[in-house]
């Protein structure tokens, strides 16, 4: 899809330099993907401490320890 954007030139070049990215298109794609990823992580963080997985970590660790020795 083609879109015309009015972006600050220095910001775009700084992002390209920071990410070692050679094209403007690629830097925009990566920026959008990172924006989406961070928003998804922020959404997951809302569940921190609210989900009870009923997992016994000690039991899991003991089970794994028996495999190595």
pLDDT tens track for 15-55: 999 999 999 999 999 999 999 999 999 998 888 888 777 78
List of residues 6+ apart from 21 with CB closer than 8 A: 15, 27, 30
Q: How many domains does the structure of the chain reveal?
A: 1
**Residue 69 domain-assigned?**
no
**Residue 55 domain-assigned?**
no
**Residue 57 domain-assigned?**
no
Q: Which domain holds residue 28?
A: 7-50
**Residue 41 domain-assigned?**
yes
Higher-scoring residue by pLDDT: 17, 59? 17
**Residue 67 domain-assigned?**
no
**Residue 68 domain-assigned?**
no
- Is the pTM higher than 0.75? The answer reads no
So what's the pLDDT on residue 51?
Answer: 76
**Residue 31 domain-assigned?**
yes
**Residue 59 domain-assigned?**
no
Asked if 24 and 12 touch (Cβ cutoff 8 Å), the reply is yes
Instruction: Count the alpha carbons within 13 Å of 49 in the hemisphere toward its beta carbon.
Output: 1
């Amino acid at each position: 899809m083609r879109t015309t954007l009015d972006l600050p030139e220095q910001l775009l070049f700084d992002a390209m330099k920071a990410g070692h990215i050679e094209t403007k298109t690629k830097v925009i794609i990566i920026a959008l993907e990172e924006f989406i990823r961070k928003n998804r992580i922020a959404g997951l963080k809302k569940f921190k401490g609210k989900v009870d997985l009923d997992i016994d970590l000690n039991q899991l660790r003991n089970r794994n320890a028996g495999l190595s020795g």
